[in-house]
Structure 1
Amino acid sequence: MVGPEPNLTPTSGTTRRWTMHFAALEHSRRDFIRAAGLGSAALLTSGLRPLSAAAYDPADCRLMEFDVSYRTEIASLPRDAKDVQIWMPLPSSDHAQQITGLDIVSPLPYDVTREARFGAKMLHVRAEPHSAPFAVEARYRVTRGQVGIQPGSLPENERSKYLQLTNTVRTTPEIDMFTEEIVGGETDPYEIGRLVFDGIREILFYDSSIPGCGTGDTAWIMRHKRGKCDDYHALFMAMMVSRGVPVRWEQGFPLPYPEGGAAEGGQLEGDCTGAHCWTSFYAPDHGWVPVDVSEGDKLESGGEFYFGRLSPNRFQVSVGRSVVLNPAQGGDPLSSFAFAYAESDGIPLIYALNYENIIKYTVGRVEMA
């Protein structure tokens, strides 16, 4: 039970704020959540920190360096399998992170390929049924500093690929109405991004009871007003693209925020549970502007940091939604590509029964302000 649905009738005037009316409860959004019994126990994040933890400033962490072991273990394969394929995302160096010491360990031959639209790297392995059990592992070092706005231009011939929505990341009449209410007649992409960032944080709350990374279905998100990182950024993407603003989806993993400059190693496993996503949008007068709406919403104070900046406690492994692998998988496009994907004769293998992903990391260096 999450309490009464807010009244979604647009308000008049120029405030561009989506007004939320709760019968008999005149609290702020977070006060309402607490009053409804959805306090810290229900809102613990599967990512960086719980909503109630407001004692840290994300601007304090300047750099993190950590070693990653990304391992996919194939436990069993169907007896009638003929063509078994595994795809594992591989991180790339860019303005936000440096990847060094890449080492791939595989008992079977492999190729390193790239996704066609955004050029994201991946490891591709083809196996035979009698090969199981076996494991494929990629090891590398990640160095990330704080990420800010990336100046630069967006070539016109590349613009269209950042304006594509999907069958789940889409607009609806309700989303269009919400966008019109908060954005109004604003035409500057940077200001549109700020209004959408603030508007989403106003109407959604982070709900860790939702399985995995969230539904990523904007119609569901707008109806229920809650979600996880996939949900926040799916809605952000749909709203921005509806206004003609290019958006880049970035997929990766979170690390715990280093308190007092100290950070430990850890392990993530699953087919979505431990992943994290964020986006960047393009504004011609600024460049690519990074935003992490869900992390910005978790903080009771300091959330503004995540508009135009990202903290270093994360790493990216792929870009884009509705991902077609290389070579192409037999199944549908993947909604995103954080975890290795496996299939037999074009049919997805069953996670936890046929295979498992295990991501371990060890933090080697932290620099604080």
Structure 2
Amino acid sequence: MPQATSWERHVPIMNAHTLGRWSVAVVVGCGFAMLFAATGCNEPTATSESNTPGTPGPAKTDAFHFHYNVTINNLEPGAQARVWLPVAQTNHDQDVQLEGVEVPGEHDVYDEGKFDNQVIYFEAAANDNGEIPIKVAYQVVRKELTAESGEEVVDEELANFLAPSRFVPNDEKLLYQVVGDKRPEGEGEELADELYNAVYRWMEYGKPKDKAWGRGDSVYACDARIGNCTDFHSLFISMCRVLKLPAKFEIGFMLPEDGAEGEVGGYHCWAKFAHEGRWVAVDISEADKDATMKDYYFGSLTPNRVTFTTGRDLQLSPPPAAGEVNFLVYPYVEVEGKEHKDFAKDFRFVRLD
């Protein structure tokens, strides 16, 4: 395992500065390390009398265990892999406790260099089946977001959320292709609403086999007019930034609204824009799936979700051979300096009583 040198290193199980936040026990056995952490919070419970999203009343909350289970596969037995995993953190929108980490051998937790994400890093050899198993467990309490309850904007961070990224360019051609010849003239929330509706009209949710959906490519989304959540929100963010409206990308997972436990099929993402000192959320792809929620998803997010990372072109530590990573929600894996994309996922949730 390489030691951190020039990289800023954050290791909760060893860093004394984190002990006020983490109560830690480490158990090592059978080739696995388990990290148990607690923040001093009481066992959360879901709000059983919460209102339906979009109706008057107190904000809804959701409380659950989230199991991030992945098996990296199709490796040669004994092949050495470098693995980076996203880490869900407590923030304005959610309270997160990291309950356990099971990976072969030792692991470290590093700070990502651009957007203050946290990333688990480890190196491991594939087992006799050509696999590397991963299990990370969380306890999450997530609150419903509204336009009035969004996180406060930190002015020093805004430059990151106005700058283009590899697949999210600040390209006026995209804007005019979607909205027509007349440049939008509003500001703040009014402007964002116009762009939200423009993307809603322009895009269709879908995953056609012959299209390059799913990498959050604004140019692709503008031309193909069909894609998943990454494509919807990348196009929206590009258009916001062209008009000097700061906007950011968040990605994690969305749970079914109902059910005590079950499977989570894959990732989900959304966007936020800055308005009057707060971040205001939009979820245009979910609005496309359910037109009755279109007005709600401009400014609000349901609580049945968890954020793992923010931003694009992430600067992971230690640096991958490929350099910056487009976004991080599934494991990023390199073998002999090349990305390895094969894995089986088994994400699951169990709601708290």
**Alpha-carbon distance change, 215 to 344 in structure 1, aligned in 2, over 3 angstroms:** closer
Q: Deviations over 1:44-71 (max 9, x none)?
A: xxxxxxxxxxxx9643681211111112
Q: Which residue of 2 aligns with 1:306?
A: 297
**Residue 180 to residue 106, structure 1, CA distance change in 2 (3 Å):** closer
- Per the alignment, residue 91 of structure 1 pairs with 88
Q: Note if contact 1:72-1:137 (Cα within 8 Å) is conserved in structure 2.
A: yes
The one-character-per-residue Cα deviations of 1:267-316 (angstroms, maximum 9, x if unpaired) are 246xxxx1110011112x24111111111222222311111110011111
Deviation of 1:232 (Å): 0.7
Distance 1:102 1:256 in 2: 22
Partner of 1:106: 103
Counterpart of 1:202 in structure 2 is 201
Question: Does the 8 A contact of 1:179 with 1:239 survive in 2?
Answer: no
Partner of 1:15: none
Rounded to whole Å, the distance in 2 between the matches of 1:265 and 1:57 is 20
Report the alpha carbon displacement of residue 318 of structure 1 after superposing the two structures with TM.
0.8
Shift of 1:173: 5.4
- Measure, in 2, the Cα distance between the counterparts of 1:185 and 1:69: 43
1:59 to 39, 42, 54: 54
Aligned equivalent of 1:70, options 59, 68, 71: 68
- Residue 85 and residue 339 in structure 1: after superposition, are their counterparts in 2 closer, same or farther (change >3 A)? same
- Bigger shift: residues 289-298 or 169-178: 169-178
1:167 aligns with: 166
Paired letter, 1:135:
P
Q: State the match for 1:339 in structure 2.
A: 330
CA gap 1:312/1:228 in 2 versus in 1, 3 angstroms: same
Q: Are the equivalent residues in 1 in contact too, given 2:177–2:222 (CA < 8 A)?
A: no
Equivalent residue for 2:263, pick from 260, 267, 282: 267
Task: Measure the CA separation in 2 of the matches of 1:266 and 1:138.
Answer: 16
- Is the Cα contact below 8 Å between 1:85 and 1:127 reproduced in 2? yes
Partner AA of 2:175 in structure 1: D
Residue 31 of structure 2 corresponds to which residue in structure 1?
none
Partners of 1:196 and 1:139 in 2: how far apart? Answer: 37
Contact kept? 1:213, 1:275, Cα under 8 Å: no
User: Structure 2 vs 1, CA of residues 101 and 221 (structure 1 numbering), >3 Å: closer, same or farther?
Assistant: closer
Structure 1 partner of 2:32: none
Structure 1 length as normaliser, TM-score? 0.72
**Which residue number corresponds to residue 235 of structure 1?**
235
CA RMSD of aligned residues (A): 2.7
Corresponding position of 1:48: none
Paired letter, 2:335 = S
Contact 2:110-2:120 at 8 Å conserved across structures: yes
Q: Distance in 2 between matches of 1:209 and 1:268?
A: 21
Query: What is the aligned partner in structure 2 of residue 364 from structure 1?
Result: 352
For residues 7-47 of structure 1, the C-alpha deviation after alignment (integer angstroms, 9 at most, x for no partner) is xxxxxxxxxxxxxxxxxxxxxxxxxxxxxxxxxxxxxxxxx
Shift in Å, 1:239 = 0.1
Q: Unaligned regions of 5+ residues in structure 1, if any?
A: 1-55
Q: Counterpart of 1:319 in structure 2: which amino acid?
A: T
SS in structure 2 of the partner of residue 106 of structure 1? strand
Question: 1:72 is paired with a residue of what secondary structure?
Answer: strand
Paired residue for 1:186? 185
- Aligned mates of 1:308, 1:267 — CA distance in 2: 27
**Match for residue 43 of structure 2?**
none
Q: Distance in 2 between matches of 1:151 and 1:80?
A: 46
Aligned length: 296
Counterpart CA distance in 2 for 1:201 and 1:281 is 16
Rounded Cα–Cα distance in structure 2 between residues aligned with 1:332 and 1:170 = 18
Give, in angstroms, the shift of residue 172 of structure 1.
Answer: 4.6
- Structure with the higher fraction of residues in helix conformation: 1
Aligned equivalent of 1:289: 280
1:124 aligns with 2:121: yes
Question: Where does structure 2 lack aligned partners over 5 or more consecutive residues?
Answer: 1-50
More deviation, 141-150/304-313: 141-150
Amino acid at match of 1:327: P
Which ranges of 4 or more aligned residues in structure 1 deviate by more than 6 Å? none
Matched, 1:276 2:276: no
Q: Secondary structure of the residue that 1:184 maps to in structure 2?
A: coil
- Partners of 2:277 and 2:332 lie apart in 1 by 36
- Aligned-partner Cα distance in 2 for 1:228–1:359: 19
Whether the 8 Å CA contact 2:171–2:238 is kept in 1: the answer is no
8 Å contact 2:250–2:311 — kept in the other structure?
yes
User: What percent of counterpart residues are identical?
Assistant: 23
Aligned counterpart, 1:40: none
Letter paired with 2:271: T
CA distance in 1 between counterparts of 2:250 and 2:68 reads: 18
Query: Residue 304 of structure 1: SS of its match in structure 2?
Result: coil
| Distance 1:209-1:265 versus aligned 2 partners, 3 A rule | farther
* 8 Å contact kept, 1:183–1:192: no
In 1, distance between residues paired with 2:339 and 2:224?
30
- State whether residues 109 and 121 of structure 2, in contact with CA within 8 Å, keep that contact through their aligned partners in structure 1: yes
**Equivalent position SS for 1:301:** helix
User: Which residue does 1:315 correspond to in 2?
Assistant: 306
Q: 1:325 maps to what in 2?
A: 316
Quote the Cα distance in structure 1 between the aligned partners of 2:94 and 2:245: 25
Residue 79 of structure 1: CA displacement? Answer: 6.1
Contact conserved, 2:113 with 2:317, CA < 8 A, in 1? yes
Amino acid at match of 1:248: K
